Amino acid sequence: MHYTAKKTTKLIIEGGNDYVITVKGNHPRLLAQLKTLAEHPLPCDRFVDIEKTHGRITCRIVKVFTDLKGINLDWVGLQSLVQVERIGIRSGKQYLQTNYYISSLLTSAAKFACGIRYSLGN
């Protein structure tokens, strides 16, 4: 049986659970909507974590947005957009990586940061 991501979110919510889903290039329209949304309004919450391990320094900036105007609401239960920016130095070179997530949760940026980092291995 083939499920699309939107149908999967429906099943998750109907099962009484929540989701945090990484949005990648396989959903280009949603990814573009999230990037646009994250550029303009101020986040409802923000968390910054700086870590120095394994010869590198990483700063994680987690922003949570709950004003989802312009986002396709076919994603059942969608409550939050989470943007995670990782800025750091690896082997003497600077890097910047930005990831986007959609979630059925309404929680703090600190809780999203912890859950994304340790549950998703980022």
- Give domain limits for the chain: 5-117
pLDDT value for 31: 93
pLDDT value for 66: 94
Place 60 in a pLDDT band, splitting at 50, 70 and 90.
very high
> What value does the mean pLDDT take over residues 25-52?
90
Closest CA to 62 of 84, 81, 44, 42: 84
Report in angstroms the alpha-carbon separations of 121 from 35, 38, 81, 117.
22, 23, 19, 5
Cα–Cα distance between 51 and 101 in angstroms, integer? 22
In terms of average pLDDT, the best of 51-55, 62-66, 118-122 is 62-66
